[in-house]
Structure 1
């Protein structure tokens, strides 16, 4: 009896010890976490330094945006606008005069927009192109059916429905059960 009590106490101590140390700090994991954060911070600082270095180089070299080439009634062409937006060239944006400068070059009013007459719209469409996306070709009904037949779940259901229909026809005179399963799929 005394031996059982000792075994019970030792088991309780082991269980309590495992519970007791369950939430203790894992120093190895904490060190790995600190190292990871340090690496991320160093990487971010390196990227920032490289960005600042290129900015300083651009300013020191006096990198100029493409000179605005007049297109029709506009003082700036689509090539310059595309270059500025594609390269995220904020320096060129500022050199063109910012929002006010670009709106003047594009002959727009910041409050009212563009002039709405047909000749102005046609001229803008000829210079800058149409402001639309090309339409995608629609898919046919049979394309949707083919894609549905590629689904494994539906294939399994169709095989089960055909098997149920075949067994139903062989055992019964009427084929309501299997045919209904096939129609449901």
Structure 2
């Protein structure tokens, strides 16, 4: 499984990492340390992501550009809570078409 998810990319375009965005998302969603074993555990994953447990990423402009191209923007999208019955009531009460 791990070999099919490794992404060596085309170095002529943008230097890629040894793991692609899709695989990384699967690993994060799995939330299971055993799923890291095909990559050599946590040390293997850190090597694939070119990061260090103590110092993190290099962080210069070129490195950030590569990471943005490989994995997309670093955003955390907060999930909106499900509307409650009371929310639905107030929404309907304020809807002129409903009254």
Q: 1:149 to 1:93 in 2, by over 3 A?
A: closer
> Which residue does the alignment assign to 2:86?
none
* 2:52 paired with 1:114: no
Deviation of residue 101 (structure 1)? Answer: 0.8
Alpha-carbon RMSD: 2.8
CA contact (8 A) 2:7 2:18 kept: yes
Distance 1:134 1:81, change over 3 A: closer
Residue deviations 1:74-128 (CA, integer Å, cap 9, x gap): 1111111122233445443112111111111111111111112111101101110
Evaluate the alpha carbon distance shift between residue 81 and residue 148 of structure 1 in structure 2; reply closer, same or farther with a 3 A threshold. closer
Q: Structure 2 residue aligned with 1:84, among 27, 36, 53?
A: 27
- Total equivalences in the alignment: 77
Of stretches 82-91 and 111-120 in structure 1, the one that deviates more from structure 2 is: 82-91
Cα distance, 1:126–1:148 mapped onto 2, change above 3 Å = closer
Q: TM-score normalised to the size of structure 2? A: 0.61
**Residue in 2 aligned with 1:70?**
8
Task: Report the counterpart of residue 132 of structure 1 in structure 2.
Answer: 75
SS in 1 for 2:73: coil
Structure 2: tracts of 5 or more residues without a match: 10-14, 79-89, 95-99
Distance (Å, rounded) in 1 between the aligned partners of 2:92 and 2:22? 47
| Highest RCO, 1 vs 2 (Cα 8 Å, sep ≥ 6) | 2
Task: Give, in whole Å, the separation in 2 of the partners of 1:148 and 1:92.
Answer: 44
Which consecutive residues of structure 1, in runs of 5 or more, have no partner in the other structure? 1-63, 136-146, 152-185
Matching residue of 2:81:
none
